[in-house]
Structure 1
């Protein structure tokens, strides 16, 4: 059914309902008008009743306010009364005066009887009028009741027709929605091509939407399958890379260790005396071999972290004593670079769950970076303090600093900013340090200004127990 037709039908129902009410109001006005007309009977009745009371009390003289229904008899009575008065003036003891008096008495009784008859007549007329009014009211009520019964029957039938005509397509659409939720995009609503109402158009639009959803679903499934395939390949690639780096690390560690060992033996004179230039060359060989060995170790650790196999067994340790010990192990190197080393720790106890080797690796890496990028005569400060439920290890220097652009990417793998020096690392240290810090339940952040130095802050959750 068209919604426009539905609107017109509802309007027609309302007009019909208004007509029924107008008819009922008209009948009520008609009944009330009958009641108004009947009010004349009441007036006549009360006029006669008042006249009766005055007539009974009357002794002599004229009477005012006579009802029209007995006015003629009263005028005759007044005329005869005036004749009596004239006769009394002429001869009060005559026989004619006695006769007139007797006639006046009879007439007075007759007028009283006539008044009462008229009163009875008006009472009967009023009763008859009331009966007519009641009859009219009863007929109007019956007609109104019948009209409402017919209206509700017709309106009920109309509602049933309306509900069935509207609910059927809505039920079909609800069923279609349930099918769509089940990802059955091949479902479509039946359409009567001969109809062009709003519900039919809605069905067409719904079927078009389902077709589009089917296309999107198919594309989504294809993309999901492709993503799963790519993820699988990426995982296999990571596993292969990790395996390769581990194997490479194992293969490189042995010759690097041999190079370092033989160079150390030669420096100690185990294979004869060496010249000053040979000693300098051997020391450079040992330093480069150690740098290469550190790089291999970082690559292996990074591969383990990416594969999720870098597991840490944490133990509760005194963080202040641990950091002071780590600083002492690298203090000589910092002082050789002309840096002033400062250590500051809060007075309260700081106990954290840590992996000593890995956390030492993080702190040494941060201190080594501070040494590398600081100038002669600068300072290096290590602070250990508490803020809330966290412990903070801060490494501050007054070196060359880091630009804002580099600060956003500094913890990325293999990232080297404008502070990069060819002989000073491959860009793995900070990335690996952040991963180790996160394995401790913490993190690493940096605050720096170009040309004014940097502050690297390691945060770790506190363990409230005492060591």
Structure 2
């Protein structure tokens, strides 16, 4: 016995089978309903005929005297002969005699079957072994006489059988036609699915440019194709980010490592004075600090992307925190000849992680001082606007060109001026993550050569819940 599993039915075959099954069941139910209705109509017609003939023959029997029995029998025979094709049988019972018309074996068999059955105006259906089925009406007469009328159901059953055959053949024909039509229609309806499957098979990590075809019909399949195409767009963008992130990270790691290797090779090339070795070690220390900052930034963003970066939510005075950062950076600004001004007045409470918020302010202030030339100025302001806390860092530095401005928050993105001053290119990306993790937003405005302004908006303490939680993908 083969162990291979049979291939399951495809969607097209299932749709065809189910549609055919539903149509077949509908045809069968309709056929049964029409058959029952037709039988009821034919039986009602036969019953009305029997009631009418019974009334007519009862009147005939009442009009004849006992001496006119022969004339009565002749009248009954003429009446039966007129309806011979319908299979009419009349049985007249009087004391001492039984008259049966027509005088056939089937009629006499019906008369014998009716013996012993009580009389009265009742309708019955009797089955005779050799004569078939009869519809019988028993009508009582005056005295001990009775009048029984029987009508053969052969014509009715023949009509029903002929109807059943025609409906059965017609139903089978239309069912077969529906199977063929259903297979064709399901194939046409599922053609976009087949095309989508072929397109999906061509998708590879190195080539995500293929998109599922859309028919423009606006149906569910078209909507599904559009949704999958949007997903592919996001995957392609994410894949591109990964590629750029890997390339940029490799480049950023290679630069300090290359500098460290070159310094070591130069130092070991020939004997040197202790002071020269100290200079080499100091250079190595600076490169190690740069590598440490880069790796820490990469680790932070990677954990943030994985939803594994816990943030505490506690009351924080953003104004006081910014004042502390300003006090820390005043000596550096003075050393570089940059005027540093802090405008942090009344308390501005927010709910957040004080460590990450301090990192946010530190990164923005550090960037502002770094890119401001001597004689320029940096301003740090904190204030409130409705239910939002606003933190603004402005400088009169080199500014950001319009074509670079939309990308300043991207990872490893650095304008030419930024590359000349060093840095990992992760600082502003970390700032955006911190702001968005706290439910806020950050915007950058700048004109090349006229300085820049970074505006951070965060929910004030009254608009946020006081609880500790772990942020997932940057959202609480």
Scaled by the length of structure 1, the TM-score of the pair is 0.44
Normalized per residue, the structure richer in helix is: 1
Structure ID, larger Rg: 1
Scaled by the length of structure 2, the TM-score of the pair is 0.43
